A and B are shown apart, each in its own frame.
Chain A
Amino acid sequence: MLAVATLSKSFRGLRAVHAASFSVPEGSIVALIGPNGAGKTTIFNMIAGVHTPDSGEITLLDKRIDGLRPDQVCAAGIGRTFQLVKPFAGLSALDNVIVGALHKERSVAAARIHALSILKKLNLDSKAHLNASSLTLPDRKRLEVARALATRPRLLLLDEVMAGLRPTECDQIVAVFRELNRAEGLTILLIEHVMRAVMALAGQVVVLHHGEVIARGAPQEVVRDPAVLECYLGEETEV
């Protein structure tokens, strides 16, 4: 579904991503992991249209999407969340999701119905009329997801939605994504530090280090890969 080919990006000479390639097959859940500063969010932002790549290609369903604006990327079928949540603070949770739902729905009334069903899916329906600013952090993270889902994306980009959640909250939201993936065939690409979520969710893991892909494969294999262990824990030395 999504293919990233030899993608590179530098910021004022600082090489953030270098010749990164990976793909996300339709219906799969792929996790992008790596230490801080590995370039995960930069790749995300290039896919989402926030940054334009210096070189390389991004294709969604065989159409080039690199260089498009974020709203055009959304129209192409990609929904995203932000690592630092960006709720429409002055609006109710429901209105937040309606904004997303209006992307595909013709009328506000239809968007409201769709938004309510999404809120229910994420167990936010009891808080639909609360101001987004009064929600707790876990709820705000779920609201991010609800808004993105409301645009009816083919591919969902999740930027550290589990960070800061308690293990039980994390398990709940993992269950929601599994269900969306299983029942609706939603393809998911996630950046995640919480390995508990990665192991439970991802069918495939791509490991990034210093802007380069150093490993990819099933989660159980990747965590045993010496190169991966090295980048997280440092090189093994004889004492």
Chain B
Amino acid sequence: MKLLEGVPRRGAILLAALLALLIVFPMFASGYLLAVGFLILYYAYVGQAWNIMMGFAGQLSLGHSLYVGLGAYAAAALYVHFGLSPWIGLGASIALCALAGAVIGFLAFRFGVGGVYFAILTIAFAEFARIGFDHFAWVRGSSGLFLPVANYTENDLWNLRGSPRMFYYLMLALTVGAFVLCHALLRSRMGYYWLAIRESPEAAQALGVNLFRYKMVAVVLSAAMTSLAGVVFAFYYNNLFPEQIFHISRSIELILGPIIGGIGTLVGPLVGALLITGLAEGMRELMLQLGIDVPGVKQVFYGVCLLLVVMFLPEGVWPPLAKKLRLDR
């Protein structure tokens, strides 16, 4: 099995068990739990996509909501206006986000914008899109774009109209796909070059690595992958508001998973998404049961999580956990 090359045996078994669990999960889960499951997979997937840029190539993006939003809007608008299947629409989403990533990457890497300034540039583009889409009449501006909803008796996979269970499995397929892709990438020339760039750009360049080319690939690939999550997001929630989807808080939310799980690791985004979404929803439920209603409690919770990880597990939850499970080879 080429796919599992370099995966320790125990790791492969654990992964298989996790996958089996995720596959049977909807058969036992309530509607609410299924929604939580979807969210976990959603964050695991976008976290994985973001991780390619930050975790592998060392380029900090704080504006990934741009790609979620553009991807979502492109597919949704084509569906609403022309009845185009999202499977065709996602072609437009991918192209648009790859282009957006390429423009940001070109501006930054050609003109030597790095580090914090690169991060600010990514925020600027996301904010620019948020304000622009607010006034973009074709997608109904700030009043929001709504997808037609009906009671579906059957799942229509072609038009992505159907039950939450269908979306759960779709997101699961994407998450597995992203995991396998990232695993393969890390073991390729591209992966080695990304890590080299992350660790020391000067040294990488002295060893013949074309910094511009490999950083561009990372940004474009990460953007294109994130756009797919946007498409699923649009057809799952059926409504899009620029103020929400492009908002910077969304960008922050989607990077918490990999940060808490472990930046640059394959399993980190999964573990992080599970922890942060699972715990946040669990706590919300607990508060509900106790009859306590405090607005913003989720944000405070994220903050505390981040604080604890930064203080006690600066590499994230996964690396020390992997050592405990003896999965670090």
A binds B: yes
Residues of A within 8 A of B (CB): 48, 50, 69-71, 74-75, 79-80, 82, 86-91, 95, 98-100, 102-103, 108, 111, 147-148, 150-151
Q: Is the CB of B205 within 8 A of A69?
A: yes
Q: Is the CB of B206 within 8 A of A95?
A: no
What are the interface flags for B171-183 relative to A under an 8 Å C-beta threshold, 1 for contact and 0 otherwise?
0000000000000
Task: Kindly state whether residue B299 has any CB partner on chain A within 8 Å.
Answer: no
Q: Is the CB of B203 within 8 A of A71?
A: no
Task: Kindly state whether residue B195 has any CB partner on chain A within 8 Å.
Answer: yes
Closest to A104 in B: B208
Interface centre among A50, A70, A79, A89 (most CB of B within 10 A): A70
Q: Is the CB of B206 within 8 A of A82?
A: yes
Q: Is the CB of B210 within 8 A of A91?
A: no
Closest to B202 in A: A86
Task: Enumerate chain A residues within 8 angstroms of B195, measured Cβ to Cβ.
Answer: 88, 90-91, 95, 99
Query: Bound complex: CA of A190 vs CA of B203, how far in Å?
Result: 18
Give the number of residue pairs across the A-B interface with Cβ within 8 Å: 76
Q: Is the CB of B207 within 8 A of A95?
A: no
Closest 10 CB pairs of A and B: A88-B199, A74-B208, A86-B203, A103-B208, A70-B205, A99-B196, A86-B200, A100-B207, A71-B208, A71-B205
| Distance (whole angstroms) from the CB of A96 to the closest CB of chain B | 8
Query: Bound complex: CA of A100 vs CA of B205, how far in Å?
Result: 10
Query: Bound complex: CA of A88 vs CA of B193, how far in Å?
Result: 11
Query: Bound complex: CA of A91 vs CA of B188, how far in Å?
Result: 15
| Distance (whole angstroms) from the CB of A101 to the closest CB of chain B | 9
Interface centre among A86, A88, A90 (most CB of B within 10 A): A88
Closest to B199 in A: A88
Q: Is the CB of B203 within 8 A of A82?
A: yes
Query: Bound complex: CA of A90 vs CA of B207, how far in Å?
Result: 17
Q: Is the CB of A91 within 8 A of B199?
A: yes
Task: Enumerate chain B residues within 8 angstroms of A89, measured Cβ to Cβ.
Answer: 199-200
Do A90 and B206 form a contact, CB below 8 Å, given A99-B192, A108-B192?
Answer: no
Do A151 and B199 form a contact, CB below 8 Å, given A99-B193, A108-B188, A108-B189?
Answer: no
Query: Bound complex: CA of A48 vs CA of B207, how far in Å?
Result: 11
Task: Enumerate chain B residues within 8 angstroms of A75, measured Cβ to Cβ.
Answer: 208
What are the interface flags for B183-222 relative to A under an 8 Å C-beta threshold, 1 for contact and 0 otherwise?
0000111001101101110111111111100000000000
Query: Bound complex: CA of A98 vs CA of B210, how far in Å?
Result: 16
Sample 25 A-B pairs with CB under 8 A, ordered by A number: A50-B202, A69-B210, A71-B209, A71-B211, A74-B207, A75-B208, A79-B206, A79-B207, A80-B206, A82-B203, A82-B206, A86-B202, A86-B203, A87-B200, A95-B195, A99-B193, A99-B195, A102-B189, A102-B192, A102-B193, A103-B207, A103-B208, A108-B189, A147-B207, A151-B208
